[in-house]
A and B are shown apart, each in its own frame.
Chain A
């Protein structure tokens, strides 16, 4: 056990740095660093650059086009990306549905879907939550009724992130007998979003953005070949996916970089005649979050290290989700506090590409509260932190 990178790992780090320096578009990096929103095209542009480098799928096995990296390499890559301002990969295709397809899908499904996911040719979204099925995800009511070679799908999914851009959606649907036990009646179905019987309606969130949607299915006919694995086993597959989702959700590298930037910001922020960094109480608050993050970083490294010895991410990954989101939200709150009065103006328009009017407040200040508001979602999505707590309580502590 040691903390040092080997010579090969140091070479790899250099290779990643070089790649980012040469290939990461400057405008995308600047926006990412400032926590501004990227367009669909910008995300795809970056993901295609990763694809051309062979680095799009850091968590896939090599046989399907993954990098086959060690946990240390993944750690190095994540940290360099965050520091350089590389956007986080949109997870729905590359990180969420792909592992389900290559783990539980047929050969035909793998051939059909994985190459386009790898190359970011298609945009995926997630059809899990419903109005009546949030934390109680197994209560989904969207039905898929077998009719010959097809399933007929009816129902409404909600909180579908960036579903307005999506070409495909992976869904948890109810295929079982009405009186079957909830979880045994759920199946995992891939659905083409271009079907005219699907409609998408926006949900505006408290930061004024259109990020999530409702997706309505009105008698959508889906070929039975789009079912993943066995009918009625969807819940098992979804649970595997949720563990994958949770590992990524810690976002340690991103939080590290945001803290570095926060310290620069606070160093440069006037506090009357003083600077804000000289405010001992505020400096201590930053330090306290930084210490929490250090502990989380090593919790994540321990988890990854266990993974590298061939173990699946266990329920311990719930710790990463809980603490990771607590830290994200704590950092957001510090940005708002640092911004002071300039956390208040609601002026998102001044960050649009084509805006050339006067700017209100210092950069990052007026964006801080919107990010604080938006990231309240992090302790709600991906299995709320209450659900994660229950998982640890039951599966780890045996309570």
Chain B
């Protein structure tokens, strides 16, 4: 057993960490959020140039062959800067599905463009009624003479408003809740029959509600009717990514709170000198440490099981969700009024820690899944 980072891992962690420190401070991020796109295309180029967009792909597919531990290292650093560029949507989810389910021709067509930062993608899976049930798919694909056409609605699609190409889960057979009969399709996001309502989420990430009305597809991705295992696999990977992001964000929330408690004077002394607050900051620290540990457990187990271990992943999401809730709320409370303001980063960290709890399955959903597996 050895938990130390390899030199390659150390290198990639340093490289992301440097980027956050030098090029992604809170004011820069604020400017990015205020821009029309809501994320920075220049940063996206940097991600490509530094090879980060290649990380999740195997060497065979032209990538760096990164492990889940590698992905977690990058995402933890992203979490410290609250990066809003659509890394998870494009590289982890859509790119991941392409690598997992795509034909050689599809991979040759899409993966180089994704890795070069030339193509934005999104995975549209959640529906208004589906909540966190990935097999609950109403959106239907019927074979019109020749090609499939898609009709239905997808909810809160991350990067859905900026994506060039969408991957859409749609039902080719069976009932809304059947595990069989779900297929994946590539769809041109700019087709006139695709209606996109774009918005920013409360955490600054871009998203869209999307409806399809007899929308032609750019082709089936993977085997018809058998997409659920690939969807499960990719959502688990995306879940690990946000878990890691939460661990990074919690570290910053805790650091900021400590700094503030040491400097903020009330009653003639620093508020950090009050034992009631000291114990609470110790609890935040413990939560962060526990979260970091279970993240490592899940990433290692996924790596030793071909990138997939639902039980380990759900354990991580459950425990990290609990930690994120406590650390985020305590960071605000210990800051007091100033923590409630838009001008301080701690409130924004709190918001991201909140949305992560409800992305890809709530804490309770993952606790239940852990128990069932």
Contact = CB atoms under 8 A, between A and B. Distances in A.
Given A271-B133, A272-B177, A372-B354, A206 B362 contact: no
A: contact size bracket: 35 or more
B276 A389 contact: yes
Contact of B156 (A205, A282, A345, A370): A345
A158 interface: yes
A361 interface: yes
Interface stretch (A12-20, A77-85, A335-343): A335-343
B342 A273 contact: no
A281 interface: yes
Contact of A337 (B135, B209, B358): B358
Given A270-B129, A389-B276, A158 B337 contact: yes
A205 B354 contact: no
Interface residues of B, number: 50
Interface string B340-353: 11110001101100
A347 B199 contact: yes
A384 interface: yes
Interface stretch (A23-31, A128-136, A163-171): A128-136
Interface in B241-274: 265-267, 271
For the complex of A and B, 8 pairs with smallest distance between CB atoms: A272-B133, A206-B347, A136-B266, A272-B136, A270-B129, A204-B342, A341-B156, A344-B201
Interface stretch (A39-47, A221-229, A375-383): A375-383
A130 B343 CA distance: 17
A297 B133 CA distance: 38
Contact of B332 (A272, A337, A376): A376
Given A272-B136, A344-B156, A373-B354, 19 more contacts: A134-B336, A206-B340, A270-B129, A281-B364, A282-B364, A336-B354, A339-B358, A340-B132, A341-B155, A342-B155, A342-B156, A344-B359, A345-B200, A361-B155, A361-B156, A369-B202, A369-B351, A370-B202, A389-B276
Contacts of A132: 265
Contact of A380 (B199, B271, B333, B347): B333
B131 A276 contact: yes
A282 B355 CA distance: 18
Contacts of A298: none
Interface in B211-248: none
Nearest to B135: A272
B358 A343 contact: yes
Contacts of B129: 270, 272
6 contacts: A135-B267, A204-B342, A272-B177, A347-B199, A360-B199, A377-B340
Given A281-B364, A344-B207, A380-B333, A273 B340 contact: no
Contacts of A336: 354, 358
Contact of A273 (B136, B325, B350, B359): B136
Contacts of B354: 336, 369, 372-373
A380 B340 contact: yes
A61 interface: no
B9 interface: no
What secondary structure prevails in chain A residues at the interface with B? mixed
Given A273-B136, A273-B177, A346-B199, A376 B340 contact: yes
A237 interface: no
A341 B340 contact: no
Contacts of A360: 197, 199, 209
A159 interface: yes
A4 to B, nearest CB: 40
A341 B358 CA distance: 7
A132 B267 CA distance: 10
Contact of A135 (B266, B332, B347, B350): B266
Interface of B: 126, 128-133, 135-136, 155-156, 176-177, 197, 199-203, 207, 209, 265-267, 271, 276-277, 325, 329, 332-333, 336-337, 339-343, 347-348, 350-351, 354-355, 358-359, 362, 364, 367-368
Nearest to B155: A341
A297 B362 CA distance: 30
A362 B131 CA distance: 13
B358 A376 contact: no
A136 B265 CA distance: 9
Nearest to A369: B202
Q: Most B CB atoms within 10 A — which of A158, A212, A347?
A: A347
B183 to A, nearest CB: 19
Contacts of B332: 376, 380
A270 B128 CA distance: 8
A240 interface: no
Contact of B131 (A159, A272, A345, A386): A272
Q: Most A CB atoms within 10 A — which of B132, B201, B350?
A: B201
A333 B265 CA distance: 31
A137 B176 CA distance: 58
A190 to B, nearest CB: 24
A344 B347 contact: no
A374 to B, nearest CB: 8
B341 A204 contact: yes
Contacts of A343: 202, 355, 358
Interface string A198-215: 000001111010001000
Contacts of B348: 206
B199 A345 contact: yes
Given A135-B266, A344-B207, A281 B368 contact: yes
Q: Most A CB atoms within 10 A — which of B207, B325, B336?
A: B336
B329 A376 contact: yes
